[in-house]
């Protein structure tokens, strides 16, 4: 019988955060690609664009006007997915037809007044300003009585559905715990109740010993490809110290966190010499007033590109009907990312 080889044979890996499995098929990475290629824009953007709804001093589509901001700028989304007003509901609840009104607030954060930069092209000090705003928004929105979850995220690139290239992210704060967050919380809590320790703290300590999937680390944070990664170059930033939310982050940790964000976004751009698209977001404790010691602060990066700047990973067929699947192993993608320069290719 042939001996199992991690880089040659199909296998499944377990994701303890979501209590689910992923199929890894490393032998498929050798197959030729004849499918769709994404269009990559090499258009050079100006530092200020008079037609951009997010640039300083410009009119937004709803009739409001942006101030001439010099750092980060936050405003309520002009086309929110959630609404602030409470509504009365007398809907009868049935086992197979459940429906509940959802209340919340959507905000946009412009990371910089410059239209032609991304996080990868910003200084560490500028990324620190973004993190400070994330913290302020988490505390402000989380203090609203009906807000129980604050989701901070960024969609970068048109392939990820971003409709405006100006550097920005979003916050969706809502009254309920979203499905992915609830599943993560349930599994973190189950582990904490069983061991009295943070799942991600134990996981991180094991990863630091193995050193197979670590991309970079500093005093306070670690950047790695998770063992159970689904997307080809999926990564996580995990705090070394066990704390539950960005509300507890220190000034020293903010600087270390900014350094990790700069490193991964620069490495992403360097991978295929393009402005690398991704969806990224923070997972942290809900804002329901409970302690939530089971939560451990971390950030996910989900980039779609697979083989080049024009070939992306599709979640179709088996992935939609059975379970997630990837070709490149987590260890292979970690090695590729680890060996990339931390100096942006444009420089």
The catalytic residue positions are: 168
Reported as a single tens digit per residue, the pLDDT across 224-234 is 999 999 999 99
Report if residue 9 sits inside a domain.
Answer: no
Please count the other Cβ atoms lying within 10 Å of the Cβ belonging to residue 175: 18
In angstroms, rounded to a whole number, what is the distance separating the alpha carbons of residues 159 and 11?
29
Would you say 202 and 174 are in contact if contact means Cβ atoms under 8 Å apart? no
Instruction: Please compute the mean of the pLDDT values over residues 163-183 and round it to a whole number.
Output: 96
Give the pLDDT score at 43.
Answer: 66
Report if residue 35 sits inside a domain.
Answer: no
Give the pLDDT score at 4.
Answer: 86
The CA dihedral of 81, 60, 121, 274, to the nearest 10 degrees, is 70
Quick one: tokens of 297? 């602060």
Percent of all residues in the chain with a pLDDT value above 70, rounded to a whole number? 96
Report if residue 3 sits inside a domain.
Answer: no
Report if residue 170 sits inside a domain.
Answer: yes
Buried b (16+ CB within 10 A) or exposed e, 7-24: eeeeeebebbbbeeebbb
Count up the domains in the chain and report the number: 1
Residue 104 predicted with pLDDT over 90:
yes
Report if residue 209 sits inside a domain.
Answer: yes
Report if residue 241 sits inside a domain.
Answer: yes
Give the pLDDT score at 33.
Answer: 39
Q: In which domain, by residue range, is 257 found?
A: 15-24+45-338
DSSP β-bridge partners for residue 326: 24
Report if residue 196 sits inside a domain.
Answer: yes
Report if residue 102 sits inside a domain.
Answer: yes
In angstroms, rounded to a whole number, what is the distance separating the alpha carbons of residues 273 and 130?
25
What global pTM score does this model have? 0.94
Which CATH number do you get for residue 80? 3.30.428.10
Residue 202 predicted with pLDDT over 60:
yes
In angstroms, rounded to a whole number, what is the distance separating the alpha carbons of residues 329 and 163?
32
Task: Spell out the residues 6+ positions from residue 90 whose beta carbon is closer than 8 angstroms to its own.
Answer: none
Residue 41 predicted with pLDDT over 80:
no
pLDDT band at 32 (very low <50, low <70, confident <90, very high): very low
């Amino acid at each position: 019988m042939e001996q199992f080889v991690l880089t040659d044979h199909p296998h499944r890996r377990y994701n303890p955060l979501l209590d689910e499995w992923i199929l890894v098929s490393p032998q498929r990475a050798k197959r030729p690609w004849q499918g769709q290629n994404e269009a990559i824009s090499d258009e050079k953007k100006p530092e200020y664009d008079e037609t951009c709804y997010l640039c300083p001093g410009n009119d937004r589509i709803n009739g409001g006007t942006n101030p001439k901001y010099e750092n980060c700028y936050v405003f309520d989304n002009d086309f929110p997915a959630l609404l602030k007003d409470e509504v009365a509901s007398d809907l009868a609840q049935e086992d197979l037809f459940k429906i509940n009104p959802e209340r919340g607030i959507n905000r946009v954060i412009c990371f910089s007044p410059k239209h032609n930069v991304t996080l990868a092209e910003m200084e560490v000090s500028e990324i620190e300003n973004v993190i400070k705003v994330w913290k302020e928004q988490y505390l402000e929105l989380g203090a609203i009585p009906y807000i129980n979850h604050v989701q901070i995220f960024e969609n970068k690139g048109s392939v990820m559905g971003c409709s405006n290239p100006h550097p920005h992210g979003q916050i969706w704060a809502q009254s309920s715990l979203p499905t992915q967050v609830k599943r993560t919380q349930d599994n973190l809590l189950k582990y904490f109740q069983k061991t009295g320790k943070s799942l991600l703290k134990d996981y991180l300590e094991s990863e630091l010993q193995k050193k197979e999937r670590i991309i970079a680390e500093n005093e306070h944070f670690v950047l790695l490809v998770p063992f159970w990664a689904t997307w080809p170059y999926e990564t996580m930033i995990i705090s070394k110290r066990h704390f539950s939310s960005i509300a507890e982050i220190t000034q020293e940790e903010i600087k270390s966190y900014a350094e990790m964000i700069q490193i991964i976004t620069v490495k992403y751009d360097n991978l295929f010499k393009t402005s690398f698209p991704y969806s990224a977001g923070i997972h942290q404790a809900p804002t329901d007033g409970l302690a939530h010691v089971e939560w451990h602060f971390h950030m996910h990066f989900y980039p779609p590109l697979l083989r080049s700047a024009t070939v992306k990973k599709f979640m179709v067929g088996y992935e939609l009907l059975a379970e997630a699947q990837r070709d490149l192993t987590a260890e292979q993608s970690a090695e590729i990312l680890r060996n990339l320069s931390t100096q942006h290719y444009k420089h």
